[in-house]
Structure 1
Amino acid sequence: MIGVELRKLVLRPRMWLSVFLLCALPTLVAIFLATADFPPPRGQGGAFLNAVLRNGSLYPAAALALVLPVFLPLAVAVLAGDSVAGESASGTLRYLLSRPVGRSRLLVAKLIALGAFIVLAIALVVITALATGVALFGTGAEAVGQPGAITSLSGATLGPGALAMRLLGTIGYIVVSMLGFGVIALFFSTLTDSGLGAALGALAVLITSSVLETLDAAAPIKPYLPTNYWLAWIDFFRDPIFWHSINKGLLLQAGYIVVFFGAAWANFSTKDVTS
């Protein structure tokens, strides 16, 4: 069943369109940065955008900062929201469950396919951004003394190996964060026969969480909002790494995955499937 879901994912044109758009945004921004007559002010604009002008090896981090707040969650919400509801709307869900598959196994396969999409999307964004950054801005050898090295947010120099490890840590952290959000959309997908409705429900959670983060009155619940620690991956680019927010973010997303996947399973296992 997992192989079937992964094959469906790879053969879905909409999935590849989402990945293309995610990769296109950082590429477009890089072109504008390379051709602009003035750099973005230090400390303003997207994370790392000022630093990449001196070292293109850091552009994958800037690209992730660009797609994370809106575009990546949007792609995840659309895919996860359509995972069960789309099958029901197209009339294939009942056919799937008529085979000796089991609802739990089907739901786990949907979750694994969602995780595969998130990993694929983030990996391609990073690879595309690295190639674009190095081509347009160079490797920063003049600034730090060795190609591929960067200056961390703490002022220390990070070699290519340390940078690669931090990028891998960043990818892993964002994958877990997006999976925590995607499971919310998967839960909504078990509640309705409309993939669009499920995606909009997840996006409503995203918008509500983002708005509450800006309110001082919501301070008591901020540590539990799904978006609260999404940008904690930036701490991977400090030396030493600041693990406090990263660990809290991973624990929070693990809680969301367990709770909402359990809720999705509880609802789907007892749902009356008629289509």
Structure 2
Amino acid sequence: MPADRSQATPSAAASPAGDEFYCRQRKLGTWFYCDRPKPSSPDRSPSSPTAPAAQQLAAIGRELDELKARAILEPSEENVTAYIRFQREQLDRASTFSDQWQRTIWQNPDLDYTLQRPVSTLGKRAWLDNRSAEEDQALARLSERYGIFYFYAQSCGACDIFAPILKALADKSGFSVVAVSMDGGPNKTFPNYVVDVGQHERMGLKNRATPALVLFDTATKRPIPIGTGILTADEIRDRIFTLTNTKVGSDF
């Protein structure tokens, strides 16, 4: 009796290793169930976009606060260890940022603020010397156009200390000084004083505090308040130079 051919036909469950004739020698492939379908890969839905860096940083801060609070409220070894490890990770991240910041500054001079305003002892000394020379030249030039109004009071003890400082600066830089008495009393340092008859208000001063200095532009008739109270000669020089030779925000 002829053999049942249906039993010889490879089934879907048959192994190619057992069907040497059909699958290996004849290479009948898919039609004889030799090529088994590859398992389909799981459907991977698109992952959600990465959260913005600011949100990630905020999440780290919240996690650090939570671990710290947990370690304080329940100071078990596990909780304290978790807080210390996480804190150390953030310190390492901050150190890496700081290191990269410094390297970037070194390699990009246009980002290095210390080239504009040195912080090292040697660099700062050189910058100050150069700035002082610029101020000397500028003040000598400015004294040809600007004058100084000095508001004082005979009863003002600070004025007695400040007047000789202002006089020495004016003599060195060539500024003419108009001393204005707020109470009518004389001034031994500036004997050619005048009594205030509205000059104080016209100079734009808001209160009657003394001593007070105002730089006056004789070309434009514009008053430039310098300051109130006792100032050193260097402070007066620096303020005059800054107010007349630099733009706001350029010197910081």
What TM bracket, shorter-length normalisation?
A: under 0.3
Higher relative contact order (CA closer than 8 Å, sequence separation 6+): 1
Structure holding more helix per residue: 1
Structure holding more strand per residue: 2
**TM-score, normalised with respect to structure 1:** 0.19
**TM-score, normalised with respect to structure 2:** 0.20
